[in-house]
A and B are shown apart, each in its own frame.
Chain A
Amino acid sequence: MSKSSSFDEMWGHETVLRDPYVPINEWLQQEDAGRLRRKARDAEDLFRLTGITFNVYGARDAAERLIPFDIVPRVIAGREWDRLSRGIEQRVRAINAFLHDIYHRQEIIRAGRVPIEAIERNAAFLPQMIGVDPPGGVYTHIVGTDLVRTGEDEFYVLEDNARTPSGVSYMLENRETMLHMFPELFMKTRVRPVSSYPAMLHRSLCACAPNSSNGRPVVGVMTPGSYNSAYYEHSFLADKMGVELVEGQDLRVVDGRVAMRTTQGYQPIDVLYRRVDDDWIDPLNFNPDSALGVPGIMDVYRAGRITLANAPGTGIADDKAIYSYMPEIVEFYTGEKALLKNVPTWRCAEPEALSYVLDNLSELVVKEVHGSGGYGMLIGPTASKKELSAFRDKLKARPGNYIAQPTLSLSTVPIFTRAGLAPRHVDLRPFVLVSPEGVSITPGGLTRVALKKGSLVVNSSQGGGTKDTWVLEQ
């Protein structure tokens, strides 16, 4: 689809200002472009000073980079959001039910709604989790549901990030930055606050603590270390929750519990919000070469004496091949039709789908089943002939490794450029917390924006930026 047919969240398909953007439009009309440019620079300095940076793997200078921040907020009407959040909650509940089922009786497979092959030969399925009951019964404590918009009422779920979704620190800092720079904006418009996220996260994690914690659970955030690309976020969350930020080398198993090395000896931890992937978390149970993990932590986990958030093995629910079954999964566990749409997906493992994909490659987006971060994907409409033919070979060699989807015409939101306002494609990652007390969704989430004209790639590792995301009070 061509760019001109995209839905603009400010101006719609035509050039009629949409209601939620009335205050933004007023503000932009009144502001002097020079002042806005200065403010945009101030924002960058503020980010640098605070150290809101990310490290790029393999970058030669190993420098810390800033994710570009655009000062024009992305606005969602209150009732739009309420509808979206019902859909997200339904989906996240279904994912947790699916995970429990898939690691226990596998009813959904017996019922023939998801084929056994989708699980059996899937690297994201962890046999170590079979029969394990996570404390509180929660698998995905934190989910980042990636949404895209294509029209006034058209939203699609692009991905269910059920492993270790990142970006929430940007959601919070973007709002802080806007409050700091443009307080007057928030006096005129009532925007739902996001700042309680860390407190809610802490509460949610504590509610999932194992019984051994005796009512006052000790929580820790586990990071692979200060060279990890998302280290800032790890330290940010630990700081805001007032809990320790630990690495594998700070932890060991002592008397059947996971404990951290403090200045006064080893002290037990009850809940670990771990930002270390499954593979690396325990060299005894998974990758034996891991220096990031804690030997034996899985044994403590299986004994129910520590909570890992998210639970190991949740990747089976956000795997791109499983994604295509999400409408069935939602229906199977909730008994309702899915409120949020799935993007039609061709599973290249299936011969018919593969031949369709090969025939229509230049119109499709092809993704690796286990890929993330926008790496290893093909965007048919913008790919060169050479890229298309190289990808065709890859598809034929390992069809099961890929899925394909139509190229969605992502909505646009204006960004502030040197030449004035210009529409750019966006997506949205709301952050969802799950505990036995319920599901809570912070209003809005992280809006990622492709800064290059016409580009559909919003990933920060590939030059995307972010925006503050407003959900209006009414």
Chain B
Amino acid sequence: MTTLGKTAGGLYWMFRHLERSENTARMIEVGQRIALTRSSDDDEWGSILQAAATHAGYVAKHGEVTRDLALDWMLRDPDNPSSVLSVVKAARDNARVVRTALTREVWEAVNEAWMTLCAAMRRKVHDRDLQDVLALIRQRAAFVRGATHGTMLRNDIYDFCRLGMFSERADCTARILDVKYFVLLPSATAVGSRLDDVQWETILRSVSGVGAFQMRYGQQLRPREIAEFIIHDRAMPRSLAFCAHKLEENLGYLAADYGTRLPSHEIAERLNQRLLGRSIDTIFENGLHEFLMEVQHCLAHLSQQIEIDYRFYR
């Protein structure tokens, strides 16, 4: 059994891009919800663009942040490499290159996602269609994930898919927290004080975690617990700990499969033990922002090393 380096890279990026399409849709949902539930201003769209790591590109093209322009930028703009259409196209292009590594079901799911979303966003998305389009984006990503889960062999090919997915998800969760970290700082919320409802919702909704949080911690919202939930909770599929654990696990399968441990495995281990092994108190003491920077840096390093270790490009 052999897998081309190019194929491994194509699978990794195909799943990163798919994960990104869903994350972007979720961020837009959050922005939309804030806009609808609050006396309107466009402030939130700035931080949403930041959380989606596409603020600089937006500002370079449009300057001032407005809701309409931000929406179009994040959904459709070909100049934005992270717009939903751009990433779905990239996912599909990658899928085409790695077609022989995919099952028919997975290929058709991603090809259909591309066809359906292109059709749904051929023109600027009208407000009354926005919810449907966002639901469609998430649904299509879920179809691909489902087809992958249900039909792909559990071998190295599957591991590369999972590595792409969890790298992107971990990165996204870290970014969301980083954009809003100040809300969780002890100084902003003295013991017993309540968080700004909108702010906590922003964070939890961004990681699809409102219901999950309440199930775990009840109705009371404490910044420490929200941080704990999103950073450490291994039951929460978008938490940093969950993603980092999956990254290490999938790299572990590859190590067993190939019979070699590589530098990327050390980085994943460090991410899990040295970074995510810290208690919330320690993290807050040393600075939440600094911690999140360190996590993002480590994830970027891991991604580069995986690319080298498994010969994506040379």
Contacts and interface: CB of A to CB of B under 8 A. Distances in A.
B284 interface: no
A201 to B, nearest CB: 15
Interface string B92-117: 01001101100010011001100100
B8 interface: yes
Interface in A27-69: 48-51
A103 to B, nearest CB: 33
A235 interface: yes
Interface in B1-36: 2-8
A264 B156 CA distance: 11
Given A235-B99, A239-B99, A244-B2, A263 B112 contact: no
A51 B2 contact: no
Majority secondary structure of chain B interface residues (helix, strand, loop or mixed): helix
Contact of B4 (A226, A235, A262): A262
A265 B107 CA distance: 27
Interface string A456-471: 0000000000000000
B314 A261 contact: yes
A246 B4 contact: yes
Given A239-B100, A265-B311, A247 B6 contact: yes
Nearest to A46: B108
A213 interface: no
Contacts of A262: 2-5, 311
Interface in B76-102: 93, 96-97, 99-100
Contacts of A338: none
B143 interface: no
B8 A51 contact: no
A274 to B, nearest CB: 16
Nearest to A48: B115
B97 A250 contact: no
A49 B112 contact: yes
A231 B96 CA distance: 9
A44 to B, nearest CB: 12
Nearest to B112: A49
Interface residues of A, number: 22
Contacts of A49: 108, 111-112, 115
Contacts of A94: none
Given A51-B111, A244-B2, A263 B156 contact: yes
Contacts of B104: 50
B111 A261 contact: no
A245 B100 contact: yes
Contact of B311 (A226, A238, A263): A263
Interface centre among A249, A260, A261, A265 (most CB of B within 10 A): A261
Contacts of B100: 235, 238-239, 244-245
B115 to A, nearest CB: 7
Contact of B97 (A51, A226, A244): A226
A254 to B, nearest CB: 13
A407 interface: no
Contact of A226 (B3, B96, B107, B260): B96
Nearest to A261: B5
B291 interface: no
Given A49-B111, A50-B108, A239-B99, A263 B3 contact: yes
Interface string A214-244: 0000000000001000010001001100001
Contacts of B96: 51, 226, 231, 235
B5 A250 contact: yes
Contacts of B112: 49
B2 A267 contact: yes
Contacts of A244: 2, 4, 7, 100
A365 B303 CA distance: 59
A267 B2 CA distance: 9
Interface string B286-314: 00000000000000000000000011001
A187 B119 CA distance: 38
A306 B15 CA distance: 35
Nearest to B310: A263
A249 B28 CA distance: 39
B108 A261 contact: no
B2 A226 contact: no
A261 B4 contact: yes
A226 B89 CA distance: 14
Nearest to B258: A264
Of A239, A260, A263, most B-chain CB atoms within 10 Å:
A263
Nearest to A49: B108
Given A51-B96, A235-B96, A235-B99, A263 B4 contact: yes
A238 B4 CA distance: 13
A264 B4 CA distance: 8
A205 to B, nearest CB: 16
Given A239-B99, A239-B100, A267-B2, A261 B311 contact: yes
Nearest to A51: B111
A262 B1 CA distance: 10
Contacts of B314: 261
Contacts of A50: 104, 108, 111
Please provide the 8 A-B residue pairs with the shortest distance between their CB atoms, ordered closest to farther.
A235-B99, A239-B100, A263-B310, A262-B2, A261-B5, A238-B100, A263-B8, A263-B3
Given A50-B104, A261-B4, A262-B3, 15 more contacts: A49-B108, A49-B111, A49-B115, A50-B111, A51-B111, A226-B96, A235-B99, A244-B2, A245-B99, A247-B6, A262-B2, A263-B4, A263-B5, A263-B8, A263-B311
9 contacts: A48-B111, A238-B100, A244-B4, A250-B6, A262-B5, A262-B311, A263-B4, A263-B5, A263-B311
